[in-house]
Amino acid sequence: MAAGERDLLELLKFELKFLEDGGYGRSPHTSWRQPLVFEHSLTCLNFGDPLRPHPCSECELMHFVPAELRGQASPCRLIPLTAKGETADYFYRCGTQMELEEALANWLRDQIGGIEEQRAHASQTKGVAAGENRQDGFHTKQQLAFASNLYLLASRHRDNDDYAVAHALYGRALEAAEKVARTEDGRSLMARIRNDQQAVFGILRRGEDGSNRTKSEELQAAGWWD
């Protein structure tokens, strides 16, 4: 397994930035439905896959779900976000989206601050724990899913002819995939990302220099269709 996998702290920081950037705003494609926190985030192992092939038990957020509730459907909805024990499920039924996002932001900041303080204290008093950099299967799987989700999002922008955004997202997906480059799945994903990113770059260059090569020819050259 690859060293330096995304850990819980990185996941929480990404969730906070995703929230602050308006990631849980209504999608123009599904304006009738408000996105669900955690479940519609890029960090979700089942992002964009209605078949949900990964069990929730493989997600690192299970760390925050009360033990007696971990067998429930969508357990991330049952994480206590406030001192009163209010959860995402509670806000879906009894609160507003604004109240939910405020509670989630405060909870994320508290968790991030607590983990950072704990690690700083451990480094000062005991040194880095022997197992801190241990290669962990959950971390690897979460990192691979994150990279795959970014790749999926980039491909959606590519399919909508939004090539500049797609190219940037392919770059982020590649950075994420490089963290699991020692795994077979990681190497395979990196190859697909590089191939698609190169093709999108070719389309962007064609638009800049006035090349006569058509978009269809670029896509065919990249192996997007025969």
Cβ(156)–Cβ(29) below 8 Å = no
**Contact call for residues 150 and 173 (beta carbons, < 8 A):** yes
User: What number does CATH give the domain 137-221?
Assistant: 1.20.58
Which stretches in the chain have pLDDT values below 50?
1-6, 27-32, 127-135, 225-226
Could you read off the pLDDT of 82-112 as tens digits, one per residue? 999 999 999 999 999 999 999 999 999 999 9
Tokens of 184: 């077979």
The residue type at 12: L
Distance, CA of 13 to CA of 28 (rounded, Å): 26
Encoded tokens for 201:
């770059």
pLDDT at 3: 28
Every domain of the chain and the residues it spans: 8-125, 137-221
Q: Are 176 and 169 in contact (CB under 8 A)?
A: no
